[in-house]
Structure 1
Amino acid sequence: MQNSLTRKPIEIKISTVVAVALILNDANIATLENALKEMTGGTPDFFDDEFAIIDVENIAFESIDWIGLITLFKACGLNAVAVRNANEDQHAAIRAHGLSIDIVNKVKPELPTDLEISPASETLTSPVVPETVAPMPQAMPAALEHIPAMIVDTPVRAGQRIYARGCDLIITASVNNGAEVIADGSIHIYAPLRGRALAGARGNTNARIYTTSMEAELVSIAGIYQTFDAGFPKLTANHPVQIKLVGDSIEVSSIKSA
């Protein structure tokens, strides 16, 4: 055992925390409570003390009952920790309720100054360069960093949570009931999926989930999720399954060989 005299009173390490994004389109507490009950099917442990970020972009800030909102989410197993898309003059009021500010960088791409936009065709045209002037050479873009997939070779048991940050997640054993697997990229499970699988955790709508046996409690792509309390869709027997996002809906289908 490490000597307590040589141990630092506190240590700080980098930790990745995945939070549920709660996008408010209504401020009425009763309306939100009914909507949450409908989403979760009344299951009391649907959210298991998960962190939550409240997105207020689509709602009038003055209409929010913060105490009622935080209390409602807490009763549903969601711990509100931050607020997203609030104006700077609203930050003090948010912090007064013990919440942090989640900063979202919205960078608007700018066109190069030597390009012109044609209103009629909405295409980009470059100014004519005299033949006597050689164009400046373009710098080669830096190579993109490759992040290898996270590979898990053991069963993911109830209560376990695995998060593949910035990459795909590959699991060669079962994901049991009560387990949760998360990836910023796609999730590949070469065994039964019985727990929860959340792909595209940071908003990648092209992410997918693959499994050889679809028995999931919940699946999610880029924050859009689906549960299966009413049963699973009809799938071809003995075929692997892919789950993808089509518009704002989750599509579950069999992968059939040619």
Structure 2
Amino acid sequence: MQNSLTRKPIEIKISTVVAVAVILNEAALDRLEIALKEMTGGAADFFDDEFAIIDIESIANEAIDWSGIISLFKSCGLNAVAVRNAHDDQHSAIRAHGLSIDIVSKAKPEIPKELAAQAPTPAVEVRTETVAAAQNAMPAAIEHIPAMLIDTPVRAGQRIYARGCDLIITASVNNGAEVIADGSIHIYAPLRGRALAGARGNTEARIFTTAMEAELVSIAGIYQTFDGGFPKLTPNQPVQIKLVGDSIEVSSLKSA
């Protein structure tokens, strides 16, 4: 009885999930269906109920049958959740079909024109990436993976995810940027954007930064924003952010 009285009716946590990015190079459903059948061998569970972000940059000016595409993806185990690179005037139609608008895109590697011309563009391309989303905590990775090192500024609109390891950043994390790690996050510069450590449920993960100016911080899905101002900290001292019970604690790291 006591648990039912103290338990919150709803809790929001921030974590990470793996999503499949599906790049559509054609809008015709019959062509897409053929391409997916060739890719999956016709297996209905090929993608094992994975989330899908639909990238329509190549066909944004064409008429798109959203209901048909959602059903087609579902038939091979893909759950469409968001659309990327859509025009503003397409947003209402996309949302009407229960899809979100993905406004954070990652830089794409440039392919030399002479190489791109050698092979035809497939109707559907699939790649795996990570996106921020709400989900239940997953077990932490057992295998040791070296920390990811970023030595350039993380700019607004960029998202970096260190999967299965710590994240070390030696430059600033700007407003509108987001950095995520399954382990701890070490920022040897100002943190002005969002930092999410322990993304798979590691409650021992921490965030360290030399200047605390964050929009949001999160440890193991429990988050805190700073709309009301930052905690009073010791001047000119690096900061650590950790989880104490169900609360975020921000404190200065004192010199030894």
2:218 equivalent to 1:209: no
- For residues 115-151 of structure 1, give each alpha carbon's deviation from its aligned partner in whole angstroms, at most 9, with x where no partner exists: xxxxxxxxxxxxxxxxxxxxxxxxxxxxx63200000
The match for 2:186 is 188
TM-score (structure 2 length as normaliser):
0.51
Task: Tell me how far 1:224 sits from its aligned partner.
Answer: 0.5
Match of 1:146 in 2: 144
User: What does 1:234-253 align with in structure 2 at a 5 Å threshold?
Assistant: 234-253=232-251
Q: TM-score, normalised by structure 1?
A: 0.51
1:10 is aligned to 124
Contact 2:138 2:201 in 1 (8 A): no
Give 1:229's aligned residue: 227
Deviation at 1:228, TM superposition (A): 0.7
Aligned mate of 1:171, from 150, 162, 169:
169
Q: Equivalent residue of 1:14, what SS?
A: strand
Q: 1:198 to 1:256 in 2, by over 3 A?
A: same
Q: Which amino acid aligns with 1:239?
A: Q
Q: CA deviation at 1:105?
A: 8.2
Matched residue count: 140
Per the alignment, residue 158 of structure 1 pairs with: 156
Identity within the alignment, %: 78
Aligned in 2, Cα 1:10/1:230: closer, same or farther, shift over 3 Å? Answer: same
Higher Cα radius of gyration? 1
Give the SS at the match of 2:211.
strand
- Structure 2, unaligned stretches of length 5 or more? 1-112
Is contact 2:190-2:209 (8 Å) kept?
A: yes
Answer yes or no: is the 8 Å Cα contact 2:224–2:248 preserved in 1. Answer: yes
Alignment of 1:43-58 (within 5 A): none
- Tell which has more relative contact order, 1 or 2 (C-alpha 8 A, sep 6+): 2
- 1:18 partner letter: A
Corresponding residue SS for 1:213: strand
SS at match of 1:182: strand
- Deviation of 1:168 after TM superposition, in Å, equals 0.4
Q: What are the superposed Cα offsets for residues 81-129 of structure 1, whole Å, 9 maximum, x if unpaired?
A: xxx7xxxxxxxxxxxxxxxxxxx889xxxxxxxxxxxxxxxxxxxxxxx
User: How far apart are residue 8 of structure 1 and its match?
Assistant: 2.5
Verify: 1:20 aligned to 2:134, yes or no.
Answer: yes
Structure 1 residues 173-209: Cα deviation after superposition (integer angstroms, max 9, x where no partner):
0001111100110000000000110001111110000
Shift of 1:257: 1.5
The whole-number CA distance in structure 2 between the counterparts of 1:251 and 1:241 is 10
Residues in 1 aligned to 2:180 and 2:192: alpha-carbon distance in whole angstroms: 14
The structure 1 segments of at least 4 consecutive aligned residues displaced by more than 3 Å after TM superposition are none
Task: Quote the Cα distance in structure 2 between the aligned partners of 1:221 and 1:206.
Answer: 8
Superposition CA RMSD, Å: 2.0
**What's the CA shift for 1:4?**
7.5
Tell me the secondary structure at the aligned position of residue 132 of structure 2: coil
Counterparts of 1:218 and 1:16, CA distance in 2: 19
Deviations 1:63-92 (A, max 9, x none): xxxxxxxxxxxxxxxxxxxxx7xxxxxxxx
Aligned equivalents of 2:226 and 2:209: distance in 1? 16
Unaligned runs of 5+ in 1: 22-83, 85-103, 107-143
